[in-house]
């Protein structure tokens, strides 16, 4: 090979390189919004199923990880098939790759070629929120379609305050969200301990921060736990499982929270420093998992199951339940117990906790501007809010996975007695989506271990008030300003929290950190949030 020919080849490669680096983004497809040209009038009366139609719908949404163990497409699941049979509408489901939903959704939105329905977090997940998504011409308000969704409308007025959550400030309804009928029961997570260790050491599940520290020290010294307290810290892995339980003892939160009609940003609070101080102390004393900033569900599982950790903040279902079932065969003594969130003194109530809103908007279905037949979409989506539809989405197929005896819904033996590997329960549960989510005492008793029921009861003490973030809406200018400020601040606060806890940044610099937050515009962000919160309350 001569030098000259190599050179020529590389000249070409330079061309490739330059062109490739310069390109960003995708070609323009022009704004050809095919507005709904309702093809065929539907003759079936509203609220009656099956709907007589030849048309089909396309539906973009995440396939739940539990479902994905057995099926690659929702249409193949027993629920998907039953829904098709009962509603008479064939739906083509499109699922993004696991863990890449946000990227894939954003690419889909940029393509300007949307399916009829997109299931996503339109309330806080789309930059700028629902109002912006409507203005950007992605989804349509469903106020005019409500007449096709009488069941959804009824459910919205069924729980006080729910209707307010479902609207934007300007009164637009925009999604079919999951409605948690008995939301007081939907408690999913909280602090958990190795019960067998506590018993060995003669300890009770701790209720205050001081007791926590004592228990963790015992775990470290007497049980050789190398990472006594394991937490998930990465925001991407679900912020509620951060140190949510601990931070509440200091009357603050890890992000935005509400208290007495005011909205606060936890990492900007003075008392947040005390939380950092205790975490830093635990880190220094080897009580907190040394690898915590990188921890994820898998690493925590391996730490708990291998006896490196004795305390963690976990989910009742997929963590507590799984661990107990896995360890049943390996170690008979392995046992877990749930405890209420800790407080500073004995007689206090926990500030933060597991309470939820009845309006669960993370997997809410919106009808897009490209939907060929919005009426059909609205009618089809409404089915999840009928009693029959809710049962199918929650419990599967009647007389196959559940039966109703004397008005009580129970799982059949084929589901309950199936081996764990068959994943039967998950096959007959949709987990998230546009329908009424139900938790029935009879089925809980059938499916949950006694430890899980105990944990749920323990966690119920946690929180009388929902302090989380209500579904606020912002104006376009506000949302742009807010995302500009908060993108930087979230990153910075996250980084600094990790550094303060690891001690790479001394806590004496907390004032400097607060100053930095100020210079990054936190005050303005708080004001925008506060304004939106006032508007929300006045809805």
Please give the helix or strand (H or E) that residue 336 lies within, else none.
Answer: strand 336-338
* Residue closer to other proteins (CB basis): 28 or 399: 28
Of 30, 407, 419, 450, the one binding other proteins by CB under 8 A: 30
**Does 21 help bind other proteins (rule: CB under 8 A)?**
yes
Of 38, 44, 285, 487, the one binding other proteins by CB under 8 A: 487
* Residue closer to other proteins (CB basis): 308 or 467: 308
Half-sphere exposure of 421 (CA within 13 A, CB side): 0
Of 329-388, which residues contact other proteins (CB under 8 A)? 369
Stretch that binds other proteins, among 62-70, 386-394, 430-438, 491-499 (CB under 8 A): 491-499
**Rounded to an integer, what distance in angstroms lies between the CA atom of residue 340 and that of residue 313?**
11
Stretch that binds other proteins, among 216-224, 289-297, 352-360, 380-388 (CB under 8 A): 289-297
Q: Which residues of 472-509 are buried (b: 16+ CB within 10 A; e: fewer)?
A: bbbbeebbebbbebbeebeebbbebbbbbbbeebebee
Alpha-carbon distances of 280 from 170, 358, 505, rounded to whole Å:
45, 36, 10
* Residue closer to other proteins (CB basis): 306 or 538: 306
**Rounded to an integer, what distance in angstroms lies between the CA atom of residue 536 and that of residue 539?**
5
**Rounded to an integer, what distance in angstroms lies between the CA atom of residue 130 and that of residue 170?**
11
**Rounded to an integer, what distance in angstroms lies between the CA atom of residue 246 and that of residue 287?**
14
Of 52, 76, 103, 515, the one binding other proteins by CB under 8 A: 103
* Residue closer to other proteins (CB basis): 15 or 270: 15
H-only helix segments in 223-271: 244-247
**Does 524 help bind other proteins (rule: CB under 8 A)?**
no
Q: How many residues form the binding site for other proteins (CB under 8 A)?
A: 63
* Residue closer to other proteins (CB basis): 103 or 221: 103
**Rounded to an integer, what distance in angstroms lies between the CA atom of residue 69 and that of residue 56?**
27
C-beta of 129: minimal distance to other proteins in Å?
A: 12
C-beta of 502: minimal distance to other proteins in Å?
A: 6
**Does 112 help bind other proteins (rule: CB under 8 A)?**
yes
Q: Identify the bridge partners of residue 266 per DSSP, sorted by sequence position.
A: none
Of 33-92, which residues contact other proteins (CB under 8 A)? 33
Alpha-carbon distances of 421 from 164, 225, 408, 417, 457, rounded to whole Å:
42, 30, 27, 11, 28
C-beta of 470: minimal distance to other proteins in Å?
A: 22
**Rounded to an integer, what distance in angstroms lies between the CA atom of residue 437 and that of residue 362?**
13
Residues that bind other proteins (CB under 8 A): 1-4, 6-7, 10-11, 13-31, 33, 102-103, 106-107, 109-112, 126-127, 136-138, 226, 233-234, 290-291, 293-294, 369, 483-484, 487-488, 491-492, 494-495, 497-499, 502, 504, 520
């Amino acid at each position: 090979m001569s030098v000259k020919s190599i050179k020529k080849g590389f000249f070409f490669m330079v061309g490739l390189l330059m062109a490739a680096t310069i390109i960003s983004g995708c070609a323009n497809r022009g704004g050809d919004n095919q507005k709904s040209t309702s093809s065929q009038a539907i003759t079936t009366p509203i609220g009656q199923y099956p709907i007589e139609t030849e048309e089909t719908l396309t539906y973009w949404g995440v396939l739940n990880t539990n479902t994905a163990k057995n099926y690659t497409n929702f249409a193949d699941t027993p629920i998907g098939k039953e829904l098709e049979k009962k509603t008479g509408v064939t739906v083509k489901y499109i699922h993004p790759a696991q863990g890449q939903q946000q990227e894939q959704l954003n690419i889909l939105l940029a393509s300007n070629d949307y399916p009829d329905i997109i299931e996503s977090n339109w309330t806080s997940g789309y930059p700028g929120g629902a109002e912006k998504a409507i203005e950007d011409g992605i989804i349509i308000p469903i106020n005019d379609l409500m007449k096709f969704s009488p069941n959804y409308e009824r459910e919205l007025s069924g729980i006080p305050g729910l209707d307010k959550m479902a609207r934007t400030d300007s009164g637009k309804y925009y999604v079919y969200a999951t409605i948690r009928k008995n939301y007081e029961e939907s408690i999913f997570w909280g602090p958990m301990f190795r019960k067998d260790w506590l018993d060995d050491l003669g300890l009770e599940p701790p209720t205050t921060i001081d007791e926590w520290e004592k228990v963790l020290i015992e775990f470290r010294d007497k049980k050789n736990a190398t990472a006594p307290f394991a937490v998930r810290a990465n925001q991407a892995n679900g912020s509620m499982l951060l140190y949510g339980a601990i931070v509440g003892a200091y009357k603050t939160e890890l992000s935005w929270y509400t208290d007495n009609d005011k909205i606060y940003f936890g990492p900007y609070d003075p008392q947040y420093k005390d939380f950092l101080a205790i975490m830093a102390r635990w880190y220094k004393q080897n009580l907190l998992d040394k690898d915590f900033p990188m921890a994820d569900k898998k690493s925590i599982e391996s730490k708990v199951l291998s006896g490196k950790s004795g305390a963690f903040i976990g989910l009742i279902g997929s963590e507590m339940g799984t661990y107990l079932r896995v360890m049943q065969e390996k170690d008979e003594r392995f046992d877990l117990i749930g405890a209420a969130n800790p407080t500073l003194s004995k007689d206090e109530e926990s500030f933060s906790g597991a309470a939820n809103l009845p309006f669960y908007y993370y997997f809410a279905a919106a009808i897009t501007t490209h939907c060929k037949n919005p009426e059909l979409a609205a009618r089809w989506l409404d089915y999840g809010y009928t009693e029959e539809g809710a049962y199918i989405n929650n419990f599967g197929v009647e007389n196959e996975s559940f039966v109703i005896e004397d008005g009580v819904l129970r799982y059949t033996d084929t589901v309950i007695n199936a081996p764990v590997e068959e994943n039967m329960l998950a096959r007959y549960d949709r987990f998230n989506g546009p329908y009424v989510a139900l938790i029935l005492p009879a089925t809980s008793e059938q499916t949950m271990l006694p430890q899980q029921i105990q944990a749920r009861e323990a966690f119920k003490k946690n929180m009388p008030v929902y302090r989380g973030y209500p579904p606020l809406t912002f104006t376009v200018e506000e949302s742009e300003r807010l995302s500009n400020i908060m993108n930087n601040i979230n990153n910075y606060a996250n980084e600094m929290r990790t550094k303060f806890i690891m001690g790479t940044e001394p806590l004496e610099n907390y004032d400097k950190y607060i100053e930095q937050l100020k210079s990054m515009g936190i005050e303005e962000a708080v004001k925008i949030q506060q304004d939106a919160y006032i508007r929300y309350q006045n809805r």
